[in-house]
């Protein structure tokens, strides 16, 4: 997830990590014989939250694609703390053209 | 080793290998397809761990919805289908090191804490739809309702975000109707609707 440049691939990494959490929850639910099934219920909640997260994140990714024309995370530097004021006045189109 | 353990180990190995492939393959679409394999294997793990309902929810929501959403996003962002060597950053080794470190740390914690615990699945209560539903709607009703509000908020947020216009995109005044479809900006000059389709991305006004 840290090494990917495509935003959608980073989201795939997030989904993988949430799945790891789910496996832990279900495994401990089975290990502790939870009569309330807290682990499985929390795993369900995690799945729902992951679905909400992926929907929002993909909306953001599509918005970024519409405004920038790419979703390369290394090149998205609109909020970077630049030293040169001349750079700051340059339009973001110049950065896209690079 | 019982048959259940053998199946569990097989599914876990499939999940781990395909998860590594998700984060390392140079093909964008292959990553999404390996994600399907991973999520399916994890659903199998859930089945082995007597969490039947969670397994089917996993299949329905993750494999059915999330992966389709990811593939749609790849399609809409015009992802190339060939291999892309620049998909990962050049200095991927530190990232891999951090990932490995976290994995070793968490794995060591689990192993140290639960060294000799073996989950006996023979008498485990299967988390069928009946059992899970009773738990969710008796004990966990309030979190469940909060979660539904969260889902609603995410839905509204996604709609608002996808309808938002960038600064350089045309407003309603720049749009014109052309061939029954709203396009921008140069389609007003061309009378044929084919020119309109080729002209630009559609905007909704």
Kindly report, residue by residue over B144-195, the tens digit of the pLDDT: 999 999 999 999 999 988 887 655 554 444 445 554 444 544 444 444 344 4
Task: Say if residues A29 and B51 touch (Cβ distance below 8 Å).
Answer: yes
Substitution target from A20, A25, A35, A66 for chain B, most B beta carbons within 10 A: A66
What is the reported pLDDT for A66? 83
CATH of B1-85+123-144, picked from 1.10.4080.10, 2.60.40.1150, 3.30.300.30, 1.20.120.1200, is 1.20.120.1200
| β-strand pairing of B176-178 with B181-183 | antiparallel
What is the reported pLDDT for B149? 95
Q: What are phi and psi of B76, to 5 degrees?
A: -70, -25
Element (H, E) at B177: strand B176-178
**Taking the model in full, what pTM does it have?**
0.76
* Chain B residues lying within 8 Å of A15, measured CB to CB: 35, 39, 62, 66
Q: Do A63 and B19 touch (CB under 8 A)?
A: no
Q: Which residue has the tokens 């996003």?
A: B73
Task: Say if residues B60 and B68 touch (Cβ distance below 8 Å).
Answer: no
Nearest chain A residue to B110, by CA? A24
Residue B4 has pLDDT above 80, yes or no: yes
Residue B204 has pLDDT above 80, yes or no: no
- Domain regions of chain A by residue span: 7-97
What is the reported pLDDT for A57? 92
B98, two tokens: 């951090």
Q: Give the residue among B82, B95, B49, B151 at the shortest CA–CA distance from A13.
A: B95
**ipTM of the predicted structure?**
0.77
Convert the pLDDT of each residue in B114-148 to its tens digit: 877 777 776 677 778 888 888 889 889 999 999 99
* Chain A residues lying within 8 Å of B201, measured CB to CB: 66
- Sequence-ordered strand ranges (E) for chain B: 176-178, 181-183
What is the reported pLDDT for A19? 93
* Mean per-residue pLDDT, A63-92: 72
- Domain regions of chain B by residue span: 1-85+123-144, 172-205
């Amino acid at each position: 997830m840290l090494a990917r440049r495509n935003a959608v691939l980073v989201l795939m990494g997030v989904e993988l990590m949430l799945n790891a959490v789910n496996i832990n929850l279900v495994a401990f639910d089975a290990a502790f014989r939870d009569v309330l099934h807290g682990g499985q219920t929390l795993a369900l909640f995690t799945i729902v939250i992951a679905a909400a997260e992926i929907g929002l994140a993909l909306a953001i990714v599509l918005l970024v694609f519409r405004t920038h024309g790419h979703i390369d995370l290394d090149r998205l530097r609109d909020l970077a703390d630049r030293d040169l004021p001349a750079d700051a006045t340059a339009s973001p189109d110049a950065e896209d053209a690079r | 080793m019982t048959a259940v353990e053998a199946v569990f180990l097989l599914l876990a190995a499939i999940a781990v290998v395909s998860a590594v492939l998700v984060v390392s393959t140079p093909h964008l679409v292959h990553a999404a397809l390996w994600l399907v394999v991973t999520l399916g294997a994890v659903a199998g793990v859930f089945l082995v761990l007597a969490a039947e309902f969670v397994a089917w929810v996993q299949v329905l929501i993750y494999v059915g919805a999330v992966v389709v959403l990811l593939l749609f996003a790849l399609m809409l962002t015009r992802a190339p289908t060939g291999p892309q060597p620049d998909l990962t950053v050049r200095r991927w080794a530190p990232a891999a090191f951090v990932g490995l470190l976290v994995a070793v740390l968490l794995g060591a914690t689990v192993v140290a804490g639960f060294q000799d615990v073996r989950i006996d699945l023979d008498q485990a209560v299967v988390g069928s739809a009946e059992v899970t539903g009773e738990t969710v709607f008796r004990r966990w009703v309030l979190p469940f309702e909060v979660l539904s509000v969260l889902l609603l908020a995410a839905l509204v947020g996604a709609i608002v975000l996808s309808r938002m216009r960038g600064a350089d995109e045309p407003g309603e005044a720049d749009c014109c109707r052309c061939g029954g479809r709203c396009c921008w900006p140069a389609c007003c000059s061309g009378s044929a609707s084919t020119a309109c389709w080729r002209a630009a991305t559609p905007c909704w006004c």
